[in-house]
Amino acid sequence: MSHRVLVLNGPNLGRLGSREPDVYGATSYAGLVEQCTALGKELGFEVEVRETNDEAELVGWLHEAADGSIPVVLNPAAFTHYSYALRDAAAQRTAPLIEVHISNPYAREEFRHTSVVAAVASGTIAGFGIGSYRLALRALAEQLPD
């Protein structure tokens, strides 16, 4: 059985590859999409990767996932630290939701040390570059029934 999985990305992640490559790596957003969909196929997932700079749109996608019991890999980006709207939408999840970060927020500025999403996520994976997404997809594969 193929599971539908949403990989949702918050602000500025569409600029991967050109945005602070020393922090976020050289992989482009298109490369991220390609890696997630390819690994998803291997794991039996139908992966859809989305990115938005709009908080309301991201909240809407989390509602869609909750309504459809769709597992989520979520990189809230800057919304991680202050978006209670995003936190409340994530809390409505009806399937696993894994928070991911490309960098390790705890190794960066102090304001990045707080995640309002972490407490309502199934788990958090951070600091492994684009590999954080691959680890999250593998974690979902272990959590979801065949």
CA 1 vs CA 43, 46, 89, 99: distances in Å: 11, 10, 27, 24
The answer to whether residue 84 is catalytic is: no
On whether the CB atoms of residues 72 and 6 are closer than 8 A, the answer is yes
Instruction: Please tell me whether 75 is known to bind a ligand.
Output: yes
User: Has 102 been labeled as part of a binding site?
Assistant: yes
Among the listed residues 29, 63, 82, 101, the single catalytic one is: 101
Q: Give CA–CA dist 22/139, Å, rounded.
A: 27
Write down the catalytic residue from 3, 24, 29, 133: 24
Measured in degrees and rounded to the nearest 5, phi and psi for residue 25 equal 85, 180
Q: Confirm whether 106 is a catalytic residue.
A: no
Q: Is 81 annotated as a binding residue?
A: yes
Q: Is 122 annotated as a binding residue?
A: no
DSSP one-letter string for 99-130: EEESS-GGGS-GGGG--SSGGGSSEEEESSTT
Q: Which residues are catalytic?
A: 24, 101
Q: Which residues belong to the annotated binding site for substrate?
A: 75, 81, 88, 102-103, 112
Q: Which residues belong to the annotated binding site?
A: 75, 81, 88, 102-103, 112
